[in-house]
Chains A and B, each alone.
Chain A
Amino acid sequence: MILVALITILFLGGVLAWLSEGLSPKAPRVVALIAVVIDLLVMFALLGADTGDSNWIVQLNALWIPRFGISFHLAADGLSVLMMVLTAFLGIVAIGAAWDEITDRAGFFYFNLLWTLAGVIGVFTALDLFLFFFFWEVMLIPMYFIIAIWGHENKNYAAMKFFIFTQVTGMLMLISILVLAYFHYVQFGWFSFDYFDLLNVSTSGAIQMWVMLGFFVAFSTKLPSFPFHSWLPDAHSQAPTAGSVILAGVLLKTGAYGLIRFAVPLFPEASMQFAPIAMTLAVISILYCAKVAFAQTDIKRLIAYTSVSHMGFVMLGIYAWNEQALQGAVMTMLAHGLSAAALFMLAGGLQHRIHTRDMDHMGGFWAKVPRLSFVALFFSIAALGMPGLGNFVGEFLALLGAFKANITLTVAAAFGLIFASVYSLWVIQKVFHGVYRNSDFDDSHLDDLSRREMFYYGAMMIGLIWMGMYPQSFLDLSSATLINLIDETGQVFYAVGQ
């Protein structure tokens, strides 16, 4: 029930936020904040719960569409809870980012924001593949509205591209899900979309590969990975700050989560055969997008490309499929969620203040806005993988695990860390150092960070330092799930690997 409550609170909170606009234009943001905070508190209750002998902290299974054996099956284990907490935390951060920025039609904005979050929580907890797909699509529409209504100059194009990319690849996944359900029907005599039932379906050879590819394409578009990443720079740069925060921090993680939870466990043999290709794609993402990032002058596009590059480590870790690598992938997801969200907020904050994202117009901001500049420096070095901060732990573990699986690709991927230093420091040098000049923009609103903003950034900094200094508290949560997944698929991997 608690999982239903988590989703319902957000759905209802969204509706209430929209309605509350009638009272005061400032009411929606308060309502939205309250809803997400309540959600976060409920999740903390889950964290402390006794799991008993199963990995699943809570489960709920109710019949939904009996004709096809579709049930409303929600469940959460350590991995889901981690992802949900990240979602709610970044939800609060996103509301903070939108606090002053979104003044136009705020009610509808917070409605969409909360519905996106609700969809994401649904994705992280659904264990019925039909339900999973349902949430997977549900989170798209409000995100589309956020980009299309409150986005920047080229919002229609960006929103459309985002929607079409994810929807079309989503339909390929739907076909794969249906093929799997149909095989279940053939092998067991009844339709089922339940995760645990579908794990028992035996598929073979070419069919398994095709079905797996349906999932892979959908997830790697969302992740995103080369060659399906081209929607992301547009969507991120055009979205309002809160939209970028949710996109980079949370939505991308649903792709990685899908790979860990569904794509590999459902099709172990095909995934094993496909792993070298997936890892190669990951390495291309890491290196190529780092290089492309370096060529950007639009600061949001730059951060967007670095996101693709960092998510490459996640994909690398997932397809190495051993404990360290998976732990690394999960840590990277969490740490990147925070650091990318913070960087997008900084870029959005700058755009809000000086109405440009063009780095060629910026320079010497340290003298003018020291607090903002310090925060930017902090998150940049976090993103480049400085030891002591969360991103380092994640990427290091991912590389360590990947080294066992494929040495050549790991060596190549490690160069990504160097590229990351180059573009991160380059941004710092270009924007915050040098001589300050305001010839290209109006700097009358270029104020330093307010207390409220410092509070959000501070919270994210603490999160990253915690992850970097004592990662064990996060690793413990996800380890049971990951070990379980590896055990279930391990024999297959071992057999194919020989």
Chain B
Amino acid sequence: MTITFDDLLPLLPLLIVTATSVIVMLMIGIRRSYITSSAITITGLLAATLVAVSMMDWTNQQITPLLIIDQYSLLFTVIVCASAMLIAILSYPYFFQLDDHKEEFFLLLTIATIGAVVMVSSNHFISTVLGLETLSMSLYGMVAYPLHSKNSAKYPLEASVKYLVLSAVASAFILFGMALVYAQTGTLSFASVTALPGTSLGDGYTVVALLMIVSGMAFKLSLAPFHMWTPDVYEGSPLPATTYLATVGKAAMFVVLLRFFEISEALSFDSLVTVLTLLAAVSMLAGNLLALLQDNLKRILAYSSIAHMGYLLLALIAARSTTGTLAVEAVTFYLIAYVIMSLGAFGVASVISSSEKEFDSIKEYRGLFWRNPWLASVFIAMLLSLAGIPLTIGFIGKFYIFLSGVEAGLWMLLFVLVLGSGIGLYYYLRIVYRMLMPEKHNISYRQGGMESLSSYAALAILLFLLLLFGVYPAPIMSIVSAASSFI
């Protein structure tokens, strides 16, 4: 099979990201310059984002059996590349004073982005595994990045090894599930699963294969009870790596899960739906309840992300019985909302932190509102959005999830969602309240020099999007709904 130029054109965003990583690598070889490598990375990711945006209207093509480039994958290519770009912007001041080679972080970041772009475009087991492993391998490096720094704030090695070992086990589960599918059907595309029940081994065999794949993916998404690694890895990693893991990593994985379920018709198996329902309910409750006990911002956000993955799973389960694309839209919209608000929340923390000193105890945010109203306003908006309060995108996202849940009649899960969100309010408000308390003078945040200006701009963009989509969601809704029809 030959690949023609016409085939390459839709791959342009992927090729741009790949080229960016190659250029960054070569630049490091020629002359180390922190600002040059970061500038190349940011420019490359921006170019990929813009190209993907411009392609959205007319591209719908299967490139080799491995990759599908349609509106949906391009929408998420945009989200992945834009998020990666924002994270690159935020990590520039963060690593500014690291007493070690700093440039390779951007190399890892772009390679991870290649993986994520492949994942969101994949409808084949091979490309899923390739994308997933590219992403994960780079993340191990990103998590452990400040390893040789004498002043490193956290325990990057511990976090990285923990993530490496457990993630490898999860990948093994996924691969085993895929192998079971392959053993019976002889193909590796997502669609092959639909042929499984007809084979000699039938339904039970299919469910086992699906459960293998689902449990591996649940680990990557940190759905309870596969969530144990999440708080530790979040806490131990440098903030930009945490942000990347929490936003791009989760979003790419969920898109794969969504596409896999829709193409393979996995939701037609009742036993699998039961398992998913349990996963969702336990995630919503465990995530929110465990977050109550934490004083560390990164751990709180880690547990909150577990709960948010539970909300998303609710909408995914609803896809089984809703008419049209409502549930897919709900998942898509909530993923976008989740990425924006997580980027913002972690972004605020990275703006005041550096690789030497991370401000991740909520005590250290005391009085932030009076010291730096702008930063605190962004943070409050992000937290309220995570809690699903109106005027923010988080509310519209919750609205979508509630609506798909109502339409599918998932009353038990909806009740758990209300309960979980209620509990969730407590720890979000706890952080908000800290920021509103009278300030204490003995906390010295990283002084924002010129290098932080771009971070502030990134936060401003995120806040703008958060409020725009929260107050006037019609345009983004039509994009999401158009894209969702391709799933």
Contact = CB atoms under 8 A, between A and B. Distances in A.
Interface in A65-79: 65-68
Q: How large is the interface on A (under 10, 10 to 19, 20 to 34, 35 or more residues)?
A: 20 to 34
A67 B474 contact: yes
A65 B477 contact: yes
A105 B473 contact: no
Interface string B456-487: 00000000000000001110011001000000
A375 B427 CA distance: 43
Contacts of B370: 105
A322 B389 CA distance: 36
A270 B407 CA distance: 22
Interface stretch (B16-24, B48-56, B358-366, B398-406): B398-406
Given A67-B477, A175-B414, A137 B403 contact: no
A149 B387 CA distance: 20
A134 B421 CA distance: 17
B390 interface: yes
A159 B422 contact: no
Given A134-B390, A172-B418, A175-B402, A141 B473 contact: no
A168 interface: yes
B433 A148 contact: yes
Contact of B402 (A64, A141, A167, A178): A178
B474 A66 contact: yes
Interface string A457-494: 00000000000000000000000000000000000000
Interface in A112-144: 130, 133-134, 137-138, 140-141, 144
A64 B474 contact: yes
A68 B406 CA distance: 14
A163 B426 CA distance: 9
Contacts of A163: 425, 429
A182 interface: yes
Nearest to A133: B390
B395 interface: yes
Given A137-B390, A145-B436, A65 B473 contact: yes
Contacts of B407: 182
B455 to A, nearest CB: 25
A459 B224 CA distance: 59
Contacts of A168: 418, 421-422, 425
B391 interface: yes
Contacts, number: 74
Given A65-B474, A175-B414, A178-B406, A137 B429 contact: no
B107 interface: no
A400 interface: no
A68 B407 CA distance: 13
Contacts of A178: 399, 402-403, 406
Contacts of B425: 160, 163-164, 167-168
A174 interface: yes
A476 to B, nearest CB: 35
A156 interface: yes
A367 interface: no
B345 interface: no
A167 B390 CA distance: 11
A148 B432 CA distance: 10
B384 interface: yes
Contacts of B477: 65, 67
Contact of B390 (A138, A144, A145): A138
Contacts of A172: 418
Interface string B427-470: 00110110010000000000000000000000000000000000
A137 B395 contact: yes
B406 A175 contact: yes
A199 interface: no
Q: Could you say which of B391, B429, B477, B478 has the most chain A C-beta atoms within 10 Å of its C-beta?
A: B429
A68 B473 CA distance: 11
A179 interface: yes
B429 A179 contact: no
A140 B407 CA distance: 28
Going nearest first, the 8 A-B pairs with the smallest beta carbon separation are A168-B422, A137-B390, A178-B406, A171-B418, A67-B477, A134-B390, A178-B403, A149-B436
Interface of A: 64-68, 105, 130, 133-134, 137-138, 140-141, 144-145, 148-149, 156, 159-160, 163-164, 167-168, 171-172, 174-175, 178-179, 181-182
Given A134-B391, A174-B402, 11 more contacts: A105-B370, A133-B390, A138-B390, A140-B389, A149-B436, A163-B425, A164-B426, A164-B429, A167-B387, A167-B421, A175-B414
6 contacts: A130-B399, A149-B436, A159-B433, A171-B402, A171-B422, A175-B414
Interface of B: 370, 384, 387, 389-391, 395, 399, 402-403, 406-407, 414, 418, 421-422, 425-426, 429-430, 432-433, 436, 472-474, 477-478, 481
